[in-house]
Amino acid sequence: MAADLTYYSIDDLRLGQRRSDGPGWRLMEFTRRSEAFRDYRSLGVENIKVLGVTNGIQALDLVRCVPVFSEHKACEDVLMMDYKNLPFWHWNPIVKQLAEECVETFRIRYGLHEFTLFPLCQKPEKQLAKKRFRLLNVEGSCSPIRWMYVAGVGWLSPQEFKKRYIPPKRNDFQYPLVMKYRVDAVNKDGRILLLEIAPRDFECLTGEHENTHL
């Protein structure tokens, strides 16, 4: 399978897709991973650049450089989590290995999933690791998430979050960074409480598709 994969880089998505001989982004293809990594690194840190992999039919972006904080002009490499939703890529061990290598090589701190940034690789809270809590409404139609903490903004309800950010209203490649949730939970004594947890811990508790860590 690895032999069937090639790699690509895009220099700046803001330029738009090239048509005929007109202006647009530059796409480069590579047969070697090291060459693709080297080319991606050579591109400007202010570019909305992309590093990806393709099997010749389907293309998958793995890394994208985006502005994480609006006050910073330079962008930061983030891991694209789309492959988690695509069965062909999700069950491919080569892609998982590539994602892990990208995180280590580019020192990636955040993942991008469905127009939202999340922290990667946080250690679970001790009480969560010991399963002293469980979330409410996980199986029903209501989400246990009551509040979402957005960096630089503060606490927002899920409804307000969607109203503000989903889908993005501008093509500026700026996405909200969600650092933690406040969720409805119940402890081992049956007491209902509002629990503050990281997105990664939420995924662990719900047992859902992991979109905030590898």
Per-residue pLDDT tens over the stretch 53-77: 999 989 999 999 999 986 666 799 9
Domain count, the chain: 2
Check residue 214 and give its pLDDT: 55
In a domain, 199, yes or no: yes
What's the CA dihedral at 68, 71, 75, 77 to 10 degrees?
-30
What is the average pLDDT value for the chain, to the nearest integer?
85
In a domain, 213, yes or no: no
Could you tell me if 78 and 17 lie in one domain?
Answer: yes
Could you tell me if 9 and 57 lie in one domain?
Answer: yes
Provide the residue range defining the domain that includes 35: 2-108
**181: alpha, beta or left? (left if phi > 0; alpha if psi -120 to 50):** beta
**Cβ 108 vs Cβ 102: under 8 Å:** yes
| Amino acid found at 46 | E
Could you tell me if 50 and 79 lie in one domain?
Answer: yes
In a domain, 158, yes or no: yes
In a domain, 21, yes or no: yes
In a domain, 76, yes or no: yes
More confident residue, 11 or 193: 11
In a domain, 159, yes or no: yes
More confident residue, 122 or 143: 143
Distance CA 164, CA 158 (A): 10
In a domain, 143, yes or no: yes
Instruction: Calculate mean pLDDT across residues 176-187.
Output: 92
In a domain, 113, yes or no: no
Could you tell me if 97 and 134 lie in one domain?
Answer: no
